[in-house]
């Protein structure tokens, strides 16, 4: 009989963990929101969901990102209905002059440095490579369907403790992928929501753009939607009200990065999106604590880490099982 494992949280981290564990274990996911739900109480449907490697990462975090990239790369080739698609990426920096510390230059296909003469004003360096973007509104339901086909059970319930999850799932081992909910469930005061505001814009632009350094700006195509997501912003505000002035600022930054690709855009015609990333001041947490494996705190990089985090969770579970048998 397969050992039961309970997972709290049905965002990208919880779903990815269930996907990795389900061939070997009996999985039950307990969550307040499930794939297909909208609303601002969870982050996964609203994420930019682009595979843009995180430059500030430990060796272990780099390995997680590599594993995740391999999964999505294969999925983009094998099943387009998943909402994962390959795009060309242009990445700009204004806080570095060379790529000596860009670890992912050996990971991302077609990587090359952009000539200085081609850079927008104020940009000190740029690179191009082939990357991936995911449409959460396609990928999350796709994962849920695949998991249900594997026998994974979904229980819609808001829980107040991890003990409650153990009782619901009859599982000794619990994976805590609760995102912002970990503040309460794991008594972790480092956890906090990080507000994001973006715009969906109809366009035939079919490539990725990212700028980092003194500003954080991006353009991410949405598979099958005929448009892109424009951002970005990180804020400690806790309200979901659209900041009208911020819309103009995002558009200004996007136009500067793309040399005016969206000049004349009517901001009244865009769709405004506000969501809350699961932040953690001390960073990503993937560790075992008794019979609980914690997997949260990726903030805006949940999709980038997801399947790598899932693989690490599996390693931690099986290392604990092995020790118990010795």
Binding residue ranges:
159, 218, 277, 300
Coil/strand/helix, residue 161: coil
* DSSP H stretches of helix in the chain: 12-21, 59-78, 136-149, 162-169, 182-185, 244-257, 302-325
Q: Are 125 and 93 in contact (CB under 8 A)?
A: yes
Say how many C-beta atoms besides its own lie within 10 A of residue 78's C-beta.
Answer: 10
Q: What share of the chain is helix, strand, coil (3-state, %, to 5)?
A: 35, 30, 35
Measure Cα distances from 134 to 51, 102, 148, 281 in Å.
8, 23, 21, 26
Measure Cα distances from 242 to 16, 63, 69, 199 in Å.
31, 37, 32, 10
Say how many C-beta atoms besides its own lie within 10 A of residue 206's C-beta.
Answer: 10
Q: Are 72 and 51 in contact (CB under 8 A)?
A: yes
Residues 110, 112, 117, 120: what is their CA dihedral angle, to the nearest 10 degrees? Answer: 70
Residue 127 has phi, psi (to 5 degrees) of -135, 155
Show binding-site residues for D-dopa: 218, 277, 300
Which has the closest alpha carbon to 267: 250, 285, 289?
Answer: 250
Show binding-site residues for FAD: 159
Which pair of tokens denotes residue 35? 């794939």
Q: Are 8 and 159 in contact (CB under 8 A)?
A: yes
H helices, E strands: number in the chain: 7, 15
């Amino acid at each position: 009989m397969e050992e039961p494992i309970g997972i709290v949280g049905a965002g990208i981290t919880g779903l990815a963990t269930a996907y990795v564990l389900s061939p070997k274990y009996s999985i039950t996911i307990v969550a307040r929101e499930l794939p297909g739900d909208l609303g601002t109480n969870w982050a996964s449907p609203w994420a930019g969901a682009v595979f843009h490697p995180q430059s500030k990462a430990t060796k272990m975090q780099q390995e997680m990102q590599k594993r995740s990239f391999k999964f999505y790369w294969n999925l983009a080739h094998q099943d387009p209905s998943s909402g994962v698609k390959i795009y060309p990426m242009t990445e700009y920096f204004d806080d570095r002059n060379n790529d000596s510390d860009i670890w992912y230059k050996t990971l991302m296909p077609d990587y090359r440095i952009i000539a200085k003469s081609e850079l927008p004003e104020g940009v000190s360096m740029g690179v191009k490579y082939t990357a991936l973007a995911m449409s959460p509104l396609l990928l999350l339901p796709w994962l849920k369907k695949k998991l249900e086909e594997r026998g994974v059970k979904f229980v819609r319930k808001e829980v107040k403790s991890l003990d409650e999850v153990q009782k619901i799932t009859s599982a000794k081992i619990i994976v805590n992928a609760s995102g912002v909910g970990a503040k309460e469930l794991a008594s972790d005061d480092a956890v906090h929501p990080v507000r994001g505001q973006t715009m969906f814009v109809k366009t035939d632009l079919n490539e990725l753009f990212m700028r980092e350094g003194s500003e954080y700006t991006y353009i991410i195509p949405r598979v099958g939607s005929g448009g892109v997501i424009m951002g970005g912003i990180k804020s400690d505000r806790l309200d979901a009200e659209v900041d009208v002035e911020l819309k103009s600022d995002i558009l200004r930054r996007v136009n500067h990065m793309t040399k005016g690709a969206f000049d004349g855009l009517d901001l009244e015609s865009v769709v405004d999106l506000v969501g809350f990333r699961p932040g953690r001041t001390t960073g990503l947490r993937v560790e075992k604590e008794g019979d609980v494996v914690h997997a949260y705190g990726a903030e805006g990089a949940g999709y980038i880490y997801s399947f790598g985090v899932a693989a690490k969770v599996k390693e931690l579970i099986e290392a604990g099982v092995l020790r118990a048998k010795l």
